[in-house]
Amino acid sequence: MDKMRINLYDLLACISNTQDLVSKRLSNHNQQVAYLAFRLSEHIKLTTAQQYDIFVAALIHDIGALSAKEMLELIEAEPANANGHAFRGAKLFEDFKPLQNAAYIIKFHHLPWDGGKGSTYMGQEVPLASHLIHLADETCALINPNRNIITQIPEILSKIRQLSDSILMPDLVDNAGFSRCTV
């Protein structure tokens, strides 16, 4: 059989788009998180390789949410079992070499910072990239698609600041500019 050549980005975009079919509320969520996470990784001057891994992981970060109900719960509220879909998503890709870094990032992308306890999980170091995707994910989940985005900025910034140190890594919130922004 001849080998098939597939562009990995095209495949990941296709996988990401399938999740959009579940609900209008989910439309473009993965792409929004990937874009914001990538831009935040640029802003805090991560390496090109780190930016690539973050973009790829963010594009498929919710792949482990296997039902419409679970996917909507993740967007509308942070359920107590948010790590379940993250661990399942990581499991899907951990043995596929081109996505192993992304799988490790996905695994921890809902782990709360909890005053620093979220820097590790059961002896494993949690990558900065996981916390960055968590920040982007929380930010995108706060956007109401039925309202003008500009008018939402003050309340989004306020909510992100409130989540700093409990849910979100405070150094990322600060370095990404969320603490200094005013509208």
* pLDDT tens-digit series, residues 125-183: 999 999 999 999 999 999 998 899 999 999 999 999 999 999 999 999 998 877 665 55
Question: Has residue 160 been placed in a domain?
Answer: yes
Q: Is residue 1 part of a domain?
A: no
What are the phi and psi torsion angles at 119 (to 5°)?
Answer: -75, -20
The pLDDT value given to residue 79: 46
Do 162 and 155 contact (CB within 8 A), yes or no?
no
Average pLDDT, the chain: 87
CATH of the domain at 49: 1.10.3210.10
pTM for the model stands at 0.87
Distances (CA, A) of 136 to 50, 70, 75, 92, 97: 15, 19, 12, 22, 25
How many structural domains are present in the chain? 1
Tell me, yes or no, whether 63 lies in a domain.
yes
Look at residue 183 and tell me if it is in a domain.
no
Q: Is residue 54 part of a domain?
A: yes
Quick: pLDDT tens for 75-90.
555 545 557 788 888 9
In a domain, residue 182? The reply is no
Domain holding 127, by residue range, is: 8-175
